[in-house]
């Protein structure tokens, strides 16, 4: 009686689709801070271009509805990618609570940067305001100085 039950549960679990992330949080050594920071920069540039395109295309929305939608989806995807990389790579794996009190100030700077980037990326999802894109650019520059190994 137990074996058919266990087998059916195992088959059911195998049939359930799983969500695969860009990084599995296994210490594989493949990912490094500079490569992830570079990909954040690519996401930012995509957001910047998407915002400009949406604003330009919105001058004639009925003729450009499809392109506006595509640029909006793309902009939101890249903003989400920034949030996920900061959350899943930097906050979950790279930022460690220091044991020495002297290192806590540097930890707080990095933690604050992570939070500001996540919130600003959310604001980039919500609008095409160039001020949000500029703030995200400045934050990512500071972030690269704090987390990057190549100066």
Q: Is the pLDDT of residue 11 over 80?
A: no
Give the integer Cα–Cα distance in Å for 94 and 87: 10
Which range is most confident: 11-15, 67-71, 95-99? 67-71
pLDDT, mean over the chain: 85
pLDDT in tens, 114-125: 999 999 999 999
Q: What is the DSSP letter of 103?
A: G
Alpha-carbon distance of 106 to 85, in angstroms, equals 20
* pLDDT greater than 70 at residue 48: yes
Q: What proportion of the chain, given as a percentage, has pLDDT over 90?
A: 63
DSSP 27-92: --S---HHHHHHHHHHHHHHHHHHHHHHHHHTTSHHHHHHHHHHHHHHHHHHHHHHHHHIIIIIII
Least confident of 25-29, 90-94, 137-141: 25-29
> How far is 51 from 12, CA to CA, in rounded Å?
43
Q: Per-residue confidence at 151, pLDDT binned at 50, 70, 90?
A: very low
Is the model more confident about 44 or about 149? 44
Domains in the chain: ranges and CATH? 32-147 (1.20.120)
């Amino acid at each position: 009686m137990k074996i058919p039950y266990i087998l059916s549960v195992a088959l059911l679990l195998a049939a359930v689709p799983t969500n695969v992330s860009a990084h599995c949080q296994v210490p594989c050594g493949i990912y490094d801070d500079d490569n992830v920071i570079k990909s954040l920069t690519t996401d930012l540039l995509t957001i910047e271009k998407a915002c400009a395109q949406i604003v330009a295309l919105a001058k004639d929305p009925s003729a450009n509805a499809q392109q506006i939608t595509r640029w909006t989806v793309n902009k939101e995807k890249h903003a989400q990618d920034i949030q996920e990389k900061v959350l899943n790579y930097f906050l979950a794996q790279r930022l460690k609570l220091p044991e020495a009190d002297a290192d806590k100030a540097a930890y707080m700077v990095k933690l604050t940067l992570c939070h500001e980037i996540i919130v600003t990326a959310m604001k980039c999802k919500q609008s095409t305001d160039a001020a949000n894109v500029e703030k995200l650019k400045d934050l990512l520059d500071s972030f690269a100085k704090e987390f990057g190994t190549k100066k």
